Amino acid sequence: MFATALVFPAACHRRSRSRGHGRGSGLAAPIPKPLHPDALTRFVDPLPIPRVLEPDGLRADPDDAGARIPYYRVAMRPVDVRVHRDLPLTRMWGYGGAVPGPTIETRSGRALLVEWVNELPARHIFSIDHTLCGAERDRPDVRAVVHVHGAQVPPESDGFPEDWVPPGRSAVCHYPNRQDAKTLWYHDHAMGIERLNQYAGLFGAFIVRDDVEDALGLPRGPYEVPLMLSDRLFTADAQLRYPTSGNPNSPWVTEFHGDALLVNGKLFPYLEVEPRRYRFRVVNASNSRVYYLSLSGGKTFHQIGSDQGLLSAPVPLQSVSLSPAERADLLVDFTASAGQRLILQSQSFQLLELRVSGRTAEKSGSLPATLRSVPRMPESLAVKTRTLTLNEYEDPKTHGTLMLLNATRWNAPVTEKPLLDSVEIWSFVNLTEDAHPIHLHLVRFQILDRQLFDADEYKMSGTMRPTGDRMLPPANEAGWKDTVRVDPGTVTRIVVRFEGYAGRYLWHCHVLEHAANEMMRPLEVVRL
């Protein structure tokens, strides 16, 4: 791996916001003409709903010799997708022949097996940066490994980034699903290229249900709609574009923002709804983009769940922000909007048109006053507090920028080794100028607070000088989480119990470009 001879500056300097563009090289291929999504007619395609995956039989349960559990086989392969009525087909890579992939549905306590089969071609659609850790030239260009984001699974089934398989191979993963009801999602995690694989289309939803949720009588069937958000850039002939730095030896860019915001793989779709209550399970499956979701006219909706399941009570909101990998479970009541058209939007981007019919539907029940008990984890449970910095360095030798967790590269020895069943506080000290959504595999956690501090002073002298009060998370972030937005200039603290399994996992920034270079570290849960 890397002979880490890089000398980090003592304090990171203000980054020149070149965002990796324009570092000249006469070798760069001619840039194809871009597609301008704004020129397309809006709301001419119905919103696709990913199909729910059917099992391919039963197999022995690895946890229970006598039992047989559902077995699914999901192949990753190229797929041609119609993103918009007026565009030609787009070549993507999908799970089960679709983008997003099929939805995997299960119930709490019901284990299942998935055989993930790599049937991708040998050449990648996008330029690989072979200077990134794990993407060196001696590896196959195309590699894949699946992580079910937010699932509590044995380490060998968790999709460790180095557990990839090349085309022609498969991996069987075991998902015990000993978790409450929640919206999970699955995506590629192959070391050094997950940003390219997920961008190519390798993501899908994974839903766990349970009796507590059933008892609430929330909207089901056609009234419960997954919304997977992903932004893309296209060429004029509707092929995916992923930007490069201009340096052919190191095409990595610091982050990605597309101008085409797809919902379930469609650009400007519409959904016909009845004048009643709906449940939308929203997943931010974008590489870097943060969404600020709202409904036209400032219509109020309720958030009932976040990453790791139901909140204690519905939270009325006019807008909700979602960083990469975060989820929001929303209830929207269209009863008073009969005959109207509403737009789901993210700032100036229109995502989805909601066409409310005039027809009076059956009553959709009342909004539950409470949802599920979410006891706050007291800080006093913690046996250890870790202070972990988020860093960004100028790196003139390679990519221009290097991002790290706790100033440590991926391949350095594991430093985060919590004991199985112990509770810890992780205190993320953001020394960069960006927000980073930090995700821990295996666990669910609660946000304790966020506090502004003097980052310059910290970088100069290591002194932590708070410049504001400790802010408690807002109600819609006060439930169980697995990804937390760590704002620039803040210390963000979480409290987490490391339960379920011992073994090798990881934690990382979920801006996929950051994770690739190298804002990602192993995490080892140790059995006493």
Footprint on this chain of Cu ion (rule: CB under 5 A) = 436, 509, 511, 514
Q: How far is the CB of 387 from Cu ion (least distance, A)?
A: 18
Measured from the CB atom, the residue of 37 and 155 that comes closer to ligand C2O is: 155
Measured from the CB atom, the residue of 266 and 439 that comes closer to ligand C2O is: 439
Q: Which does 187 bind (CB under 5 to 8 A by kind): ligand C2O, Cu ion, none?
A: ligand C2O
CA distance 95 to 27: 34
Q: How far is the CB of 483 from ligand C2O (least distance, A)?
A: 8
CA distances from 163 to 74, 155, 287 (A): 17, 11, 21
Q: Which residue has the tokens 């620039």?
A: 488
What residue number has its CB nearest to ligand C2O?
A: 149
Measured from the CB atom, the residue of 353 and 482 that comes closer to ligand C2O is: 482
Q: How far is the CB of 189 from ligand C2O (least distance, A)?
A: 6
CA distance 161 to 408: 17
Q: Which does 195 bind (CB under 5 to 8 A by kind): Cu ion, ligand C2O, none?
A: none
Q: 218: which 2 tokens?
A: 């929330």
Measured from the CB atom, the residue of 372 and 510 that comes closer to ligand C2O is: 510
Measured from the CB atom, the residue of 213 and 482 that comes closer to ligand C2O is: 482
3-state secondary structure of 194: helix
Measured from the CB atom, the residue of 276 and 439 that comes closer to ligand C2O is: 439
Q: Which does 514 bind (CB under 5 to 8 A by kind): Cu ion, ligand C2O, none?
A: Cu ion
Q: How far is the CB of 515 from Cu ion (least distance, A)?
A: 7
Q: Which residue has the tokens 């350095």?
A: 412
Measured from the CB atom, the residue of 372 and 508 that comes closer to ligand C2O is: 508
Q: 10: which 2 tokens?
A: 């003592």
Q: How many CB atoms lie within 10 A of CB 356?
A: 21
> If you count them, how many residues does the chain have?
528
CA distance 226 to 282: 6
Phi, psi for 381 (deg, rounded to 5): -70, -20
Question: Which residues pair with residue 269 across a beta bridge?
Answer: 45
Q: Which does 149 bind (CB under 5 to 8 A by kind): ligand C2O, Cu ion, none?
A: ligand C2O
CA distances from 400 to 134, 393, 396, 509 (A): 18, 8, 5, 19
Determine if the peptide bond prior to 100 is cis (ω within 30°): yes
Q: 428: which 2 tokens?
A: 């993320």
Measured from the CB atom, the residue of 108 and 406 that comes closer to Cu ion is: 406
Q: Which does 508 bind (CB under 5 to 8 A by kind): Cu ion, ligand C2O, none?
A: ligand C2O
Question: Which residues pair with residue 231 across a beta bridge?
Answer: 261
Q: How far is the CB of 187 from ligand C2O (least distance, A)?
A: 6
Q: Which does 325 bind (CB under 5 to 8 A by kind): ligand C2O, Cu ion, none?
A: ligand C2O
Q: How far is the CB of 522 from ligand C2O (least distance, A)?
A: 11
Q: How far is the CB of 401 from Cu ion (least distance, A)?
A: 11
Q: Which does 509 bind (CB under 5 to 8 A by kind): ligand C2O, Cu ion, none?
A: Cu ion
Measured from the CB atom, the residue of 189 and 299 that comes closer to ligand C2O is: 189
Q: How far is the CB of 437 from Cu ion (least distance, A)?
A: 7
CA distances from 520 to 414, 462, 495 (A): 11, 23, 19
The binding site for ligand C2O (CB under 6 A) comprises 147, 149, 187, 189, 325, 439, 441, 508, 510
CA distance 221 to 218: 10
Q: How far is the CB of 246 from ligand C2O (least distance, A)?
A: 28
Q: How far is the CB of 211 from ligand C2O (least distance, A)?
A: 27
Q: Which does 441 bind (CB under 5 to 8 A by kind): ligand C2O, Cu ion, none?
A: ligand C2O
Q: Which does 511 bind (CB under 5 to 8 A by kind): ligand C2O, Cu ion, none?
A: Cu ion
Within 90-200, strands assigned E span: 90-95, 101-107, 112-118, 146-149, 170-175, 182-188
Measured from the CB atom, the residue of 287 and 303 that comes closer to ligand C2O is: 287
Residues whose CB falls within 8 Å of the CB of residue 31, separated by 6 or more in sequence, listed in order: none
Strands 224-234 and 277-284: parallel
